[in-house]
Structure 1
Amino acid sequence: MDYNLMREFADSWGLLAMALFFVACIAFALRPGGKTHADQAARIPLKDD
């Protein structure tokens, strides 16, 4: 493939894909009930078994 063709693809669709991935990560982190799961995961290293 030509460098310019790959660059055009990355500038358009690659940027869109990264933006959608970023928005999905933020939405996943802020979902209802997410704080409970995050708090449980944060306490895992502190548990004594």
Structure 2
Amino acid sequence: MSIVKKIPSLSNRITINFIFARIINTFYKFILYTIKQSVILKRIV
């Protein structure tokens, strides 16, 4: 019984981790893009 109960929680955890990883990745790309844009603006000015 315990093994059957552990499997859904494990898949649930993987799904949560995947979503969390995607959010972090998007956020990281956004930060990098913002930094690049600010560097380009500083070079122009």
- The higher relative CO (CA closer than 8 Å, separation ≥ 6) is in 1
Name the structure where helix makes up a greater proportion of residues.
2
Equivalence for 1:15:
14
Per-residue CA deviations over 1:8-32 (Å, capped at 9, x if unaligned) read 133211110000011110000001x
**TM-score scaled by length of structure 2:** 0.54
RMSD between aligned residues: 1.6
Alignment map for 1:26-37 (pairs within 5 Å): 26-31=25-30, 34-35=31-32, 36=35
Q: Point out where structure 2 has 5 or more consecutive residues left out of the alignment.
A: 36-45
Measured in 2, the distance between the counterparts of 1:25 and 1:13 equals 18
Number of equivalences: 32
TM-score, reference length from structure 1: 0.50
- Matched-pair identity in %: 9
